[in-house]
């Protein structure tokens, strides 16, 4: 119970930051793909810059996680086709619905219950991928 | 207090998102929101039919706890920490959206033209939400991650697959906004 409280807390902070950054707004995603505002690029750019620094620093200092092993980021499998095609399909849906998998949940909290339709459809999309997985090029 | 109630600048939010990622790695986990979609499929019993969903989803409960927290966080931020809640968009964006049939752009988080109950009860409105959601769910699993897993975590750890996936995200987004939007909403 105490163990899961820390994840609940991280989730709450995540939800607050994404609402306050306006990254949960459909309009901000549209504006980003129109290149008409720096806002979203600033968020992603400064997040990645900070992330690179934090991870490099933790590597240098050999920081350990709470399980007392070295901090570790899971490695993505090598590949090209799955990333470019899967990524493009994701981008099409992201721009149309204006919501990626984090904001989808957060938007429920803002009272936008119609986003539940988007979540159900995303579950269906994930399920269909699971069925087709072995037939798709990766 | 006023600066908390107003929208937060990108240079505050970006680093905070990176810290969230870092805290999860410190907890021995990883920052990946789309994995929850796979977990929810497994909880729904998809593992009985499809091998991809036949895994120990109980080990993923921590991530679902984050989802629960994110919903609560969204509620707190929207109803207690935001006045006003409108989005300060580029006037050019507002003008283009108006020509596509989106009125009052930026007056709310989501356009009523897509997300209101009225829109949902129209075939076109419902189809847009379903197709959009489906593509996100299918694409993110095919690509092995979403904005949190690839754009934030993957790029922060300098992984080439994530860079390719993020290029894909933008390719798809640009095709949708610049080529397909005028056809869908024009």
pLDDT in tens, A1-36: 678 899 999 999 999 999 999 999 999 999 999 999
pTM over 0.90: yes
Q: pLDDT band for position B3 (50/70/90)?
A: confident
Structural tokens at position A11: 């989730």
Residue written as token pair 């988080």: B109
Q: Is B69 on the interface with A (CB under 8 A)?
A: yes
CB–CB contacts below 8 A, A to B: 495
Alpha-carbon distance B64 to nearest alpha carbon in chain A (angstroms): 9
The residue-averaged pLDDT of B102-129 equals 94
Do the chains contact at A33 and B133, CB–CB below 8 Å?
A: no
Percent of chain B with pLDDT over 90: 93
Structural tokens at position B80: 């207690």
What does the alpha-carbon distance between residue B90 and residue B72 come to, in Å, rounded to a whole number? 30
**Dihedral sign computed on CA atoms, order A113, B55, A126, A10:** positive
Structural tokens at position A97: 């619905």
Q: How many C-beta neighbours within 10 Å does residue B175 have?
A: 16
| Chain A residues within an 8 Å CB radius of B135 | 89-90, 92-93, 96-97, 125
> Which residue of chain B comes nearest to A84, CA vs CA?
B168
Per-residue pLDDT, B2: 80
Estimate to the nearest angstrom the gap between the alpha carbon of B60 and the chain centroid.
20
What does the alpha-carbon distance between residue B129 and residue B127 come to, in Å, rounded to a whole number? 6
How far lies B78's CA from each of A27, A82, A106, A117, B155, in Å?
A: 16, 36, 10, 20, 29
pLDDT in tens, B46-95: 999 999 999 999 999 999 999 999 999 999 999 999 987 789 999 999 99
Alpha-carbon distance A45 to nearest alpha carbon in chain B (angstroms): 7
Per-residue pLDDT, B9: 96
Q: Is A1 on the interface with B (CB under 8 A)?
A: no
Per-residue pLDDT, A2: 74
Question: Residue B123: exposed, middle, or buried by beta-carbon count in 10 A (0-12, 13-18, 19+)?
Answer: exposed
For residues B62 and A108, the answer to whether their CB atoms sit within 8 Å is no
Interface test with A, best of B4, B54, B62, B73 (most A CBs within 10 A): B73
Report the half-sphere exposure of B119 (CA within 13 A, side-chain side).
19
Residue written as token pair 């729904």: B44
Mean pLDDT of chain A: 96
* Structural domain spans, chain A: 2-37+75-135
Q: pLDDT band for position B128 (50/70/90)?
A: very high
What does the alpha-carbon distance between residue B92 and residue A37 come to, in Å, rounded to a whole number? 10
Least Cα distance to B43 among B67, B16, B24, B26 occurs for B67
pLDDT in tens, A35-94: 999 999 999 999 999 999 999 999 999 999 999 999 989 999 999 999 999 999 999 999
Q: pLDDT band for position B182 (50/70/90)?
A: very high
Estimate to the nearest angstrom the gap between the alpha carbon of B83 and the chain centroid.
23
The residue-averaged pLDDT of B142-163 equals 97
The residue-averaged pLDDT of B13-32 equals 97
Interface test with A, best of B2, B53, B134 (most A CBs within 10 A): B134
């Amino acid at each position: 119970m105490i163990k899961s409280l820390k994840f609940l807390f991280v989730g709450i902070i995540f939800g607050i930051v994404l609402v306050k950054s306006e990254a949960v707004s459909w309009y901000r995603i549209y504006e980003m793909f129109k290149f008409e505002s720096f806002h979203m690029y600033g968020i992603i750019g400064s997040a990645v810059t900070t992330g690179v620094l934090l991870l490099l620093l933790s590597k240098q200092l050999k920081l350990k996680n709470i399980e007392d092993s070295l901090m570790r980021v899971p490695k993505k499998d090598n590949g090209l086709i799955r990333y470019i095609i899967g990524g493009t399909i994701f981008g099409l849906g992201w721009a149309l619905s204006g919501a990626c998998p984090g904001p989808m949940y957060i938007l429920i909290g803002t009272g936008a219950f119609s986003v539940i339709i988007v979540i159900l459809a995303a579950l269906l999309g994930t399920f269909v991928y699971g069925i087709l997985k072995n037939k798709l090029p990766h | 207090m006023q600066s908390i109630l107003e929208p937060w600048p990108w240079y505050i939010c970006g680093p905070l998102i990176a810290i969230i990622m870092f805290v999860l790695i410190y907890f021995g986990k990883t920052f990946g929101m789309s994995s929850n979609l796979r977990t929810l499929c497994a909880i729904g019993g998809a593992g009985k039919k499809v091998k991809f969903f036949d895994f120990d989803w109980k080990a993923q409960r921590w991530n679902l706890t984050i989802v629960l927290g994110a919903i609560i966080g969204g509620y707190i931020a929207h109803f207690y920490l935001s006045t006003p809640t409108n989005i300060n968009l580029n006037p050019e964006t507002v003008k283009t959206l108006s020509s596509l049939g989106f009125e009052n752009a930026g007056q709310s988080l989501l356009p009523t033209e897509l997300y209101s109950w009225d829109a949902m009860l129209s075939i076109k409105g419902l189809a847009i939400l379903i197709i959009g959601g489906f593509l996100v769910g299918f694409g993110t699993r095919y690509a092995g991650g979403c904005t949190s897993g690839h754009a934030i975590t993957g790029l922060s750890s300098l992984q080439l697959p994530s860079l390719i996936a993020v290029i894909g995200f933008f390719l798809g987004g640009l095709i949708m906004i610049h080529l397909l939007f005028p056809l869908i909403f024009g």
